[in-house]
Amino acid sequence: MTQIGKAVALVTGGAAGIGLLTAQRLAAAGAARVVLWDIDAAALDRAVAGLRAQGHAADGIVLDLSQPAAIAAAVAATEALGAAPDILVNNAGIVVGKPFAGHSEADIRRTMDINATAPMLLTRAFLPGMIARGRGHVVNIASAAGMLSNPNMAVYAASKWAMIGWSDSLRLEMEMGRTGVRVTTVCPTYIDTGMFQGARLRLIPLLKPERVADAIVRAIRRDRIFLRLPAIVNTLPFLKGLMPVR
């Protein structure tokens, strides 16, 4: 079981929004250290300074998660701090909100790289350490957009569908392998952060990001396997021969 007290937590996209609130809550819950990764150096400085001002051990690493070399360098820098994470929150994400025909190749690649590939790359880097220690919790912030159809957000939706497929499969792999490592997939609906600022969402109520941060902390606290729905349940419809076609 991963106890937040004494754990090292790494939060990507930790300089703002859901990531910053999650880092603050993990620090307040007694994490030994929080490490924030973000592309926004100024916001990251402010976030780390705020945590330190409250007496928490905090570090920030600036990187662009769309660049695999930058991820490798940030992994090395995190390990050099002596901060291999027990809790890894794959939170950073971007949205390109426009009709699919208006997406450039760069829009498509950047969205997939940041939202889908980066979480896999950095989880792959830290997972062997978690498995060797027999504990760890990987929390992947996907989206309700990964479970529903989303006009004007088709590539964002694709990246989140990809994340959910990977995250749920990894969860099953970790649980069936009795590794002691837990994986949680979180699928928020529209949240009141910078992400959808300016978007026309008048008909859809925005939820407070604190709700997501609280849900993440609760999921980590409850990570004993007998309190969680076994991931094997996901596969039962297929074992019964059901094949959704739509």
Positions in the binding site for ligand NAD (CB under 6 A): 13, 15-19, 38-40, 43, 63-66, 91-94, 114, 141, 143, 188, 190-191, 193-196
Phi, psi of 183 (to 5 degrees): -130, 130
**Residue among 113 and 223 whose Cβ is closer to ligand NAD:** 113
Rounded CA-CA distance 156/95 in Å is 6
For residue 207 the two structure tokens come to: 């939820």
Burial environment of residue 165 by CB neighbours within 10 A (0 to 12, 13 to 18, 19 or more): middle
Contact 30, 5 (CB under 8 A): yes
CA 215, distance to chain mean position in Å, is 13
* Other Cβ atoms within 10 Å of 64 Cβ, number: 16
Instruction: Say whether 27 sits in a helix, a strand or coil.
Output: helix
Contact 12, 122 (CB under 8 A): yes
**Residue among 100 and 190 whose Cβ is closer to ligand NAD:** 190
Q: Closest distance between ligand NAD and the C-beta of residue 30, in Å?
A: 23
Q: Closest distance between ligand NAD and the C-beta of residue 17, in Å?
A: 2
**Residue among 8 and 122 whose Cβ is closer to ligand NAD:** 122
**Residue among 71 and 181 whose Cβ is closer to ligand NAD:** 71
Q: How much of the chain is in helix, strand and coil states, percent to nearest 5? A: 50, 15, 35
**Residue among 93 and 180 whose Cβ is closer to ligand NAD:** 93
Name the active-site residue from 156, 163, 180, 182.
156
Q: Closest distance between ligand NAD and the C-beta of residue 36, in Å?
A: 9
Active site residue 190: no
As a three-state string, the secondary structure of 101-150 is HHCCHHHHHHHHHHHHHHHHHHHHHHHHHHHHHCCEEEEEECCHHHCCCC
Catalytic residues: 156
